[in-house]
Amino acid sequence: MRIGDGVAGVDVGVGKINHARSSILEITDVISQVVETLRSTANSISSRHENAAELTGAMSTLEQTASETVASGEEIDAELELQQKTIREMEAVTEKLDEVTGALNELLGKFRI
């Protein structure tokens, strides 16, 4: 019986080791997913930042053009359209930033205890 008990004990130990290995592999996969999500989010934020910088440059150009332009009826209409377009672009950037913020909040929510 003692040999049988020893074999059974080894089998139990092997089962525990296999379970621990599986758990470690699952944790590693989850960590890899988190890292990839963070990388993707960081890239998205970086892209949004670049878009915001471009938008700021466009607004600066708009201000310079507005100050140098002698206003006529058609020129005023064109400037208003450009300003409306700029506002729409700013709203789009804001929406994208809100999406990124939501994704970050979801990610943080997953790791809260």
| DSSP label of 112 | -
What is the rounded end-to-end Cα distance, in angstroms, of the chain? 47
Instruction: Give the tens place of pLDDT for each residue, 63-96.
Output: 777 666 555 566 677 778 888 888 888 888 888 8
Q: How many residues does the chain have?
A: 113
CA distance 8 to 112: 40
Reference 53, options 41, 45, 64, 65; nearest CA is 45
**What is the three-class DSSP state of 9?**
helix
- At 41, the pLDDT band (50, 70, 90 cuts) reads confident
Task: Give the integer Cα–Cα distance in Å for 49 and 103.
Answer: 16
Can you give the residue range of the structural domain that contains 7? 2-111
User: How many independent structural domains does the chain possess?
Assistant: 1
Are the C-beta atoms of residues 90 and 55 closer than 8 Å to each other? yes
Model-level pTM greater than 0.85? no
- 85 near 62, Cβ under 8 Å? no
pLDDT (mean) for 49-62: 75
Query: Residue 51: what pLDDT?
Result: 73
